[in-house]
Chains A and B, each alone.
Chain A
Amino acid sequence: MSKTVPVLIASIVGCLMIVAYFSPPLLPARQMAEDWFTIVATIAIFLGGANLCLHHLKKISDREAGWGFSAVTLISFAITIAVGLLKIGVVPESEQQIKLAWSGPFQQEGSGFWWIYQYLFSPIVSTMFALLAFYVASAAFRAFRAKNLEAILLLITALIVLVGQTRDREITSLFLPPPAEGTPPYVPIADLTEFIRKTFVTAGQRAIMIGIALGVVATSLRILLGLDRSYLGGDE
């Protein structure tokens, strides 16, 4: 019961999704299952929130190292939830809605939730991604060595594409005869970059995508046939 029913649910729903694609009368059922999927996944996110609270509350109660940061996490989590769910700072946007304080969009500009996104969420996330510029550069400096043909190809391509996207690419047109009046200067490295992107990058990505697609299809079939039950976890 504890394992057979979930396997049956996964198989039936998955097969319905596939059959509905080939059978137009079943499309509403497919649409309904997709909606149900969104609702179930949304409620599961609340379980994630509950787990986050339990994990950090335990760290605080045990006075583990760094418990102060757990408190910061919990406070910022609670404030975001409260501001977002209560729509603090949101105002109705039409005269018919004036009496309905909660009728405005929750991400309205100037609202508390918008403020949290604009001045907390967005700056920290984008700065964390920006930090990767330093780490990618330093990792490349340490790891990239032109030891063999493959490494040389990788290095040269990276250099061409990097230069081809900056203003310095115009250096490559200095040795060419001046262009006719009214025409833009010919920049060889820009054309080479475009050629690499249209051919080799497209081809490499295409082959990887074909491989991934075959892997996804094989894994999906294993789940639908009940051969792969790893998603059920261990015995509980």
Chain B
Amino acid sequence: MNRETRFWTVLFLGGCLLLAFQSLRTERGVGQQFVVRVDATTGKIIPPAADASDNSAAAVKTVIYEPASKDDPEAIWSFSRTSGIWIAALLTLCVFSYLYRDNVCYKLAESIIVGVSAGYWIVTYYWEVLIAKVLLRLSPELARYAFLPDTPADAKADYLCIIPVVLGCMVFCRLIPKIAWMGRWPLAFVVGTTAGLKLILFLNADFVRQIRSTILPLVVFSATASGGSELDWKQSIQNIVIVISVLSCVTYFYFSVEHKGIVGRISRVGIWVLMISFGASFALTVMGRITLLTMRLQFLFDDWLGLVRI
């Protein structure tokens, strides 16, 4: 056993001892989660004793679990949520282990997230698009009977919906070399729709509206309590800075003219504005990431270990 392996073994054993000590020492335990049983149809809490006497199929089928405090008399220990907290904590540590170097634990977490995220989006789109949009339009009766009971009884089928389904299924032609060219049709539909939508969207929201928002009064007067008006110097300075900054930045992005003379000087101001903007964006990004880090540490030390009370 080399020195590094010894170090990690000692660290691992120390962690296990800390967990064991913490779970025995505190009443709350480590990552223990409690829930109350609630009847989904009525919203009423089901006492644990009442559940044993009521074995009807309907009662069992409609029970949902809501988080509760351990002190709640109706609370019962939840295996699924407790194991979930433990698994989430261990996976969090696996990801943090990358700070040391790339290792098996990190790769394991990475492999899990690839599979889970792919599956997550497929399931989400299956229920939200294929069932809620396609099946509902092609066969409202079947949708109402099997998945969506709230579908109106007079809903009519819309068979035009079969066209995008066929078009969509054509993407699988890419897996068969002889008819792979047919896979371009749905792709062309998606690209064409995106191009048409984005053209209008960007022209409207990111071009016209941004220019409109930059056309600001350079001298702003605000109403006073006596009915007169006075110079709002703060707003005026703000507007002047915005107008000059936008114009200079746009000049910097204008590459059809050589950046010399007056154009060069204005574009240099544009670079300064962009640098200030990037500096602020960098700081905001760092703060966002640190907030996320704080949340993960809070999860580990509060939700899992119970070492801090927030």
Give the B-binding residues of A (Cβ under 8 A): 1-3, 5-7, 9-18, 21, 32-50, 52, 66, 69-70, 72-81, 84-85, 91-98, 100-104, 106, 108-110, 113, 115-134, 136-137, 140, 149-151, 153-162, 165, 195-214, 216-217, 219-221, 223-224, 231-233, 236
Q: For residue B168, which residues in chain A have a CB less than 8 angstroms away from its CB?
A: 39-40, 42-44
A171 to chain B, nearest CB (A): 17
Taking the complex as formed, is B146 at the interface, i.e. its CB lies under 8 A from any CB of chain A?
yes
The residue that B192 contacts in the complex, of A11, A113, A117, with Cβ under 8 A, is A11
Task: Name the interface residues of B264-310: CB closer than 8 Å to any CB of A.
Answer: 270-287, 289-290, 292-293, 295-296, 299
A84 pairs with B246, CB closer than 8 A: no
Name the residue on A nearest B89 (C-beta).
Answer: A123
A136 and B193 contacting across the interface, CB-CB below 8 Å: no
| Contact A6–B184 (Cβ < 8 Å) | yes
Chain B residues with Cβ below 8 Å from A91 are 40, 61-64
Interface residue SS majority, chain A? helix
Cβ of B90 to closest chain A Cβ, rounded Å: 9
CA distance A92 to B249 in the complex (A): 57
B241 within 8 A of A: yes
Interface residues of B (CB under 8 A from A): 35, 40-41, 58, 61-66, 80, 84-85, 87-89, 91-92, 95-96, 98-99, 107-127, 129-130, 133-134, 145-149, 160-161, 163-165, 167-169, 171-172, 174-175, 177, 180-181, 184-200, 202-203, 205-207, 210-211, 213-214, 238, 241-242, 245-246, 249-250, 252-253, 270-287, 289-290, 292-293, 295-296, 299
* Interchain pairs with CB closer than 8 A, number: 418
User: Smallest Cβ distance from B34 to chain A, in angstroms?
Assistant: 13
B36 CB, nearest partner CB in chain A, Å: 11
Q: Are A36 and B167 in contact (CB under 8 A)?
A: yes
Separation in Å of the B233 CB from the closest CB of chain A? 13
Q: Inside 8 A of B84's CB, which chain A residues have their CB?
A: 115, 118-119
